Amino acid sequence: MKIHKYDTVIVGAGGAGMRAAIEATKRSRTAVLTKLYPTRSHTGAAQGGMAAALANVEDDNWEWHTFDTIKGGDYLVDQDAAEILAKEAIDAVLDLEKMGLPFNRTPEGNIDQRRFGGHSRNHGEAPVRRSCYAADRTGHMILQTLYQNCVKEGVEFFNEFYVLDQIMVEVDGVKKSAGVVAYELATGEIHVFQAKAVIYASGGTGKFFKVTSNAHTLTGDGQAACYRRGLPLEDMEFFQFHPTGIWRMGILLTEGARGEGGILRNKDGERFMEKYAPVMKDLASRDVVSRSIYTEIREGRGCGPAGDHVYLDLTHLPPEQLDAKLPDITEFARTYLGIEPYTDPIPIQPTAHYAMGGIPTNVMGEVLADNTTVVPGLYAAGEVACVSVHGANRLGTNSLLDINVFGRRSGIAAAEYAAKNDFVELPEDPETFVLAQVERLLNSTGKERVAALRTELQECMDANVMVFRTEQTIKTAVERISELRERYQHVAIQDKGKRFNTDLLEAVELGNLLDLAEVMAVSALARKESRGGHYREDFPNRDDVNFMRHTMAYREVGDDGIESIRLDYKPVVQTRYQPMERKY
Amino acid sequence: MATPTMDRVEAGSAASDHLLTVTFRIRRFNPEVSDESTWQDFQIDIDPKERVLDGLHKIKWELDGSLTFRRSCAHGVCGSDAMRINGKNRLACKTLIKDIVALDKTGAAAKPITIEAIKGLTVLKDLVVDMEPFFQAYRDVMPFLVTTGNEPTRERYQSAEDRERFDDTTKCILCAACTSSCPVFWNDGQYFGPAAIVNAHRFIFDSRDEAGEQRLEILNDRDGVWRCRTTFNCTDACPRGIEVTKAIQEVKRALITRRF
Ligand SMILES: Cc1cc2nc3c(=O)[nH]c(=O)nc-3n(C[C@H](O)[C@H](O)[C@H](O)COP(=O)(O)OP(=O)(O)OC[C@H]3O[C@@H](n4cnc5c(N)ncnc54)[C@H](O)[C@@H]3O)c2cc1C
Ligand code: SF4
Ligand code: FES
C-alpha cells in the first residue's frame, strides 16, 4: 500500500473533473484520479450542445433559460441553483471558447446556436436557438479542450486508478472527509490519498439499464462510495430516458437531429408528436417525448414486425445539412444499422440516458450530510451530483453546462477550503474496506457469474422501472434486486492476477450498480405521483401537496448487521416561479 | 414528401436472430504467467451484425474472464479499443463481424478472426498496451491554444471558413490507430507519430492561435514530420476518417513556406 498527500483530490476526469482541476491546480496541490484515461470519459460522447443565452442569433436572456430549466424539471428544481446555472452559462461558454473550443460559427463569426428540446423564447412562446455546438461533437470538443488546458496547466493525473472508498472521520462530533482509497489497475496496488478536499466528478450510473446511451464504465462508483459511508443520495428515482436511442442498441442520436428539423413518425408515417405537444411538437421535453413514443408503441402504432420502435425521419433535410450539422450520428446509423439517413428513416426507441439524482450538494459543490449540514472537505460536481438544477427531468444541453459551471465552482471552493484547513488525520488502516473487498472477490469460490447477474439486473430494470412504472412493477424490481444482491455475495471471478484485472473491477462495479439500483427502486416506490422522468401509471398526476420535495435516501445498518434504506425528504428551494401545469 | 413506411428498414435491425459460429484467434500475453505471448482460439456463436467488441465481451463474460482489453463507449468515440483485427488497426467497437469475416460457400465462417494488440507500443497484458509514450508525444507538440494580448470580453471571432480550415483534425480521439500502424514508428520509437502531428495541425491552422511557429520548430526536429514516408497506413487506419497523411503534408508544406 502507498500513501499520498495532496491538498485537493479530484475523482474523475470527465468534463466536471477537468473543469474543476483547471481551477484547483492553480490554487492548490491537486491530483486527479481517474479510472479511464481522461479523453476516454463519456463527456466525449455528448453530441448536441451546451445551453447559454448568448442571444447570438435571436433574442434570448438568462431569465428565460432559468424558467425553462425549472419548468423542464417539473418544478423539482432548486430555483436559486437554476438561476446560477443560467446566469453563469454565458461565461462558461465564453471561457471554453477562449480555451480554444472550436464552436460552429455564424456568418458573422460568432458562436452559432441551434434549437433544443424545452428551450423557449419568453416562457414557452416558441422554440429558441440557445444551444452552442460544434457539429454533433460538442462533448468531444469540450473533453478535448479541457484536457488540452489541463496539459497546459500541468494538471497531475493518476490514470487508471479506481477510487473504491471514501474515507470519513469523525472529529469532535463532525463527520469530515479525510481522503479516498484507490486501486491501481496496472499493478493491483492499493493507494490511500490523504486530501484536505475531495471532489467527486465520477459521472453517471446508466449501466444498470440494458438499453442505454451510457458507456460500459458508467457504474456509479462515486455515488456508491459516498452512500456506503452513510451519506445520502438525492432524487435517485429520477432517471432520464432519451427519446432517440438506436433501436435495441441504445446508442444516442442527438436531440439536435430534431433541432435541425428531424421528425418522429409512427408506422403510419404520422407525425405523432403534434398530438401530444401541439406547440413544441418533436422538441417537447424528453420525458414527454419518450412517453409519447411508448404510447404509440403500446397502442399498436410502432414500427417493425414486433411494433417495438418508431422512426426518426431526417429524409426531408438536405444531405449538405446532415453532413455539416449531424455527421457523427448519420455515420452511426450507417455503421451500426446499415441505413442511409439521406433516404431512409432511422429506427429508434427511448434509451436510459441521464441520472438527475446523485450526491446532494449546495451551489458551491459542497456535499450535504443531511438536508442542511455540509460535510467539511467533500465536494461533488457533474452527473454524480444533485445540486439540483435538473429536478425531475434535465433539459438537453443543460448537463454540459452543469459540468462546466459547477465543475468550476467546486474546483475553486475545494482549493480555497484546502488553503484554509489542515489535513484530517487518517484512521488506522484506511485501506481495510477495499482490501477486504478485493480479497473476498479474488478468493471467492462461489458459483455466481458477474456477467449473468448484471444482465439479470439490466433486464429487470428495463422491464420494471423504465419509462412507465407502477407499484407492482417497482415492487417486483425491489424484490429481484434484493435477490440479486444476495446472489452477488457468491460471485466469483476467473482472473486472480494483479495486473490489469478488469475481471475483478467489473465485479466491483456490479456491486455498485446493485446498491444504486436498489436505492432507485425504493425511492421510486415511495413517490406516489408522476413528475418529469418518474411516471407512475397508478398515480398519473403531479402531486405538489405531498411530493414537491426531494427524496433523500440513507443506508442504515441495524445492530443485527442488517442493511436497510431510510427515506427522508428535503424541501425544494423556490424563488420566483410558482408551479404550473407543464404543457409543451 | 414521401411518407416512410414500416417495411423499409427491416433489413437494418441491429441484431437479428441469425447466429454465426466464428473463431476469434487472440494473441494472449500475461507476464504474470509467461514471458511469451501465445495465440488462443475461442469459438463463439454471434450475430454477424454485432461488433467485434461484442464478441470479445462474449468471450470475457462467458468463457474466459481473464481476457483483457480496454473499452468504454462502445460506439467509436472514446478511443479505448484500437487493436489489430485481421492484421489491420481498427476500433473493435466500430467493426462489425460481418464486415471482416470470410465466409465459405455454405455461408459458414471460413477463417478465424485474428486479434492482437496494436504494434509499436509495449504490450502490458493481452490487448492492453502502454499508452504513455503515445500521450507524451501528444503533450510535446503543445496541444493547446496559445494567444497573447488582452482577452476579448466576448468570444474571439472566427469566420466559418477559418473554422472549417482545421475541422478535420479536431475529430481526433487519440486512439493511436494511426501511430501504431506507421512503419516508421515501429522501427523508431522516437518519431512523434501521426497522431501528435494531427493534433499540432489542429492548432497550427486555427486562425486564433499564435504559437504556430513554435510548434513547427518542434516538428522540424529529426524525429518530427520529416520522418514521414507517406505510406498512408495512418489514413487507412483512422476510425474518424481524418485525412492524416494530408494533415502531415500540410504541416511539411507550412514548414517550407512558413505560411499557414
Ligand atoms: C451519448 C450522450 C450524449 C449526451 N449529449 C449531451 C448534450 O448534447 N448536451 C448536454 O448538455 N449533455 C449531454 N449528455 C450528458 C452529459 O454528456 C453528461 O452528463 C456529462 O458529460 C457528464 O460529465 P461528468 O464529467 O459528470 O462525467 P463523465 O464525463 O462520465 O466522467 C466521469 C469520469 O469519472 C471517472 N470515474 C468514474 N468512476 C471512477 C472511479 N471509481 N475512480 C476514478 N475515476 C472514476 C471516469 O474515468 C471519468 O473520467 C449526453 C450524454 C450521453 C451519454
Ligand atoms: S488521427 Fe485518427 S487514428 Fe490517429 S489517433 Fe486520431 S482518431 Fe486515432
Ligand atoms: S469503446 Fe470507445 S472507441 Fe471503442
Residues 6+ apart with CB under 8 A from A198: A8, A9, A10, A11, A166, A177, A179, A180, A377, A378, A379, A414
Q: What percent of chain A has pLDDT over 70?
A: 100
Beta-sheet strand order (sheet of A549-557): A233-234, A549-557, A563-571
For residue B110, give how far its alpha carbon lies from the nearest alpha carbon of chain A (Å): 23
**Amino acid found at A243:** P
Residue with CA nearest ligand 2 atom 3? B238
pLDDT number for residue B13:
41
Nearest chain B residue to A90 by CA distance is B154
Which chain B residue shows the shortest CA-CA distance from A153?
Answer: B144
Q: What is the 3-state secondary structure (H, E, C) of chain B?
A: CCCCCHHHCHHHCCCCCCCEEEEEEEEECCCCCCCCCEEEEEEEEECCCCEHHHHHHHHHHHHCCCCCCCCCCCCCCCCCCEEEECCEEEEHHHCEHHHHCCECCCCCECCCEEEECCCCCCEEECCEECCHHHHHHHHHCCCCCCCCCCCCCCCCCCCHHHHHHCHHHHCCCCCCCCHHHCHHHHHCCCCCCHHHHHHHHHHHCCCCCCCHHHHHHHHCCCCCHHHCCCCCHHHHHCCCCCCHHHHHHHHHHHHHHCCC
Residue B70 CA to ligand 3 center (angstroms) comes to: 8
Instruction: Taking each helix axis as running N to C, give the angle between helix A15-27 and helix A398-420, from 0 to 180 degrees, rounded to the nearest 10.
Output: 30
* pLDDT reading at B8 higher than 50: no
Nearest-Å Rg of the Cα atoms of chain A is 23
A residues 333-362 lying closer than 8 A (beta carbon) to B: 335-339, 344-347
Confidence (pLDDT) at A84: 98
- For residue A280, what pLDDT is reported? 87
Q: Do the Cβ atoms of B171 and A137 come within 8 Å?
A: yes
Q: Output DSSP code: residue A77.
A: S
Average pLDDT score over chain A: 97
Q: What is the pLDDT of residue B223?
A: 82
Confidence (pLDDT) at B16 = 53
Judge whether A304 and A349 are in contact, CB under 8 Å.
Answer: no
How far apart CA B20 and CA A473 sit, in angstroms, is 36
Minimal Cα–Cα distance from B147 to chain A, Å? 9
Chain A residues touching residue B69 (CB < 8 angstroms): 502
**Interface membership of A540 toward B (CB under 8 Å):** no
Instruction: Say whether B170 and A134 touch across the interface (CB within 8 A).
Output: yes
Give yes or no for residue A9 having a pLDDT over 70.
yes
pLDDT at residue B5, rounded to an integer = 43
Query: How far, in whole angstroms, is CA B217 from its chain's centroid?
Result: 26
The reply to whether residue A215 touches residue B2, judged by beta carbons under 8 angstroms, is: no
Write the pLDDT tens digit of every residue in B179-233: 999 999 999 878 999 999 999 999 999 999 999 999 999 999 888 899 999 999 9
- Catalytic residue list of A: 286
Q: Whose CA is nearest to atom 31 of ligand 1?
A: A14
Q: Which residues of A touch B238 (CB under 8 A)?
A: none
Determine the pLDDT at residue B7.
41
User: Mean per-residue pLDDT for A34-49?
Assistant: 97
Q: Would you state the cell numbers that stand for residue B166, as one nine-digit string?
A: 482545421
Instruction: Tally the residues of chain B.
Output: 260
Name the residue of chain B whose CA is nearest to A346's CA.
Answer: B9
pLDDT at A261: 94
CB < 8 Å to A188, chain B: none
User: What DSSP line would sit under A192-222, residue for residue?
Assistant: EEEEEEEEE-----GGGSSSBSS-TT---HH
Is the model's pLDDT at B9 over the cut of 60? no
pLDDT, residue B188, reads: 80
Asked if A301 has any chain B CB less than 8 Å from its own CB, the reply is no
> How confident is the model over A283-309, as a mean pLDDT?
95
Scanning every residue of chain A, which has its alpha carbon at the shortest distance from the alpha carbon of B30?
Answer: A499
Contact residues of ligand 1, CB 6 A cut-off: A 11-17, 33-36, 41-43, 45-50, 138-139, 162-163, 201-203, 213-214, 218, 221, 252, 254, 354, 382-384, 396-401, 403
Contacts of B94 in chain A (CB under 8 A): 335
Q: In whole angstroms, give the CA distance from residue A179 to residue A10.
A: 10
**pTM of the entire structure?**
0.96
Stretch among A44-48, B115-119, B184-188 having the lowest mean pLDDT: B184-188
**Residue A92 grid cell:** 462558461
Residue B222 has a pLDDT of 80
Calculate mean pLDDT across residues A331-350: 96
Q: Strand pairing partners for A175? A: A170
Burial degree of B83 (CB within 10 A; 0-12, 13-18, 19+): buried
User: For residues A508 and A181, is the Cβ–Cβ distance under 8 A?
Assistant: no
Angle at A306 between CA A304 and CA A307, to 5 degrees: 60
The answer to whether the CB atoms of A451 and B125 lie below 8 A apart is: no
Ligand 1 atom showing the smallest separation from residue A162 Cα: 42
B240 lines ligand 3 (CB under 6 A): no
**Which of A40, A269, A313 is the closest to B72 by Cβ?**
A40
Which tens digit of pLDDT belongs to each residue from A74-102? 999 999 999 999 999 999 999 999 999 99
pLDDT one-digit tens code per residue, A540-578: 999 999 999 999 999 999 999 899 999 999 999 999 999
Q: Which amino acid is at B222?
A: R
Q: Which secondary structure element, helix H or strand E, spans residue A169, and what is its range?
A: strand A161-171
Mutate to test the interface with B, among A457, A500, A503 (most CBs of B within 10 A): A500
Asked whether residue A19 carries a pLDDT value surpassing 70, the answer given is yes
Q: Band of the pLDDT at B17, cuts 50, 70, 90?
A: low
Give the mean pLDDT of A492-506.
Answer: 97
Q: Where are the alpha helices (DSSP H) in A111-248?
A: 138-153, 221-228
